[in-house]
Amino acid sequence: MTVKLAGLFALVMVSTSLPAQIIYSHNFTKKLHRAGIDFVEPVEGFYKVRLLKRDDLLKYDMVIQSKEKDLEMRFVLDPKYKLDVPHLSFFNLATSLATNEQRFNIKLNVYPPSEAKSLYGADWAAYSDFIPKRTLTDKYYARLISIFREGLGMAHQIILFNRHEREVDVRSHTISFRGGEQDLN
């Protein structure tokens, strides 16, 4: 009897110490599948789904946050995106999310096509670092990652944070198109 209780206690201790798997919404899962996008779920940092469907600027497909890492990620997936101007969509979104105060700059970086393919399985990819509008978040900094693949659509990931740490760079690769370079040739 005491052996069974000890085993049960050990099982409870192990299961409560493991980070919980993020439960995606049906809509988010369906859009990932339609756009051929892989989502690398963070397994450390105790990320949890945050219920934020919309703010003044965007409607989100999923929002997750980690209080431990002091970081939040918001995702917008558009598998119906058919325009061949991802750079305009990216630029418009970055300037909409960034503060309008002139003393702050918006850093824009478009990846060369070979890097877009190898890093994100995309035809086109870019990121932008900026100070977000206060109506968007209470975080000090933001990074927008946008990826596009012809025939599959466009996806945006917004990372909101207070300190530039390795976690931001690691999480910048949370979404990518399935396949990669070999499928794009």
Ranges of H-type helices in the chain: 2-17, 26-35, 86-97, 113-120, 166-171, 181-184
Other C-beta atoms lying within 10 Å of the C-beta of residue 156: 23
**9 contacts: CB under 8 Å, gap ≥ 6:** none
Cα 38 to Cα 59: distance, rounded to the nearest angstrom: 20
**45 contacts: CB under 8 Å, gap ≥ 6:** 19, 66, 68, 69, 71, 167
Cα 53 to Cα 75: distance, rounded to the nearest angstrom: 10
CB 49 within 8 A of CB 23: yes
The pLDDT, as a whole number, for residue 56 is 75
Match 């659509």 to its residue by tokens.
153
Cα 34 to Cα 154: distance, rounded to the nearest angstrom: 11
Cα 159 to Cα 108: distance, rounded to the nearest angstrom: 15
Match 């060369």 to its residue by tokens.
112
CB 92 within 8 A of CB 156: no
The pLDDT, as a whole number, for residue 11 is 39
Domains of the chain: 20-184 (3.40.1000)
Query: What tens-digit pLDDT sequence spans the chain (185 residues)?
Result: 444 444 444 433 333 334 445 667 889 999 999 999 999 988 877 889 888 777 778 999 999 999 999 999 999 999 999 888 999 999 999 999 999 888 899 999 999 999 999 999 999 999 999 999 999 999 999 999 999 999 999 999 999 999 999 999 999 999 999 975 434 44
- Residue of 92, 63, 73 whose CA lies nearest to 143: 73
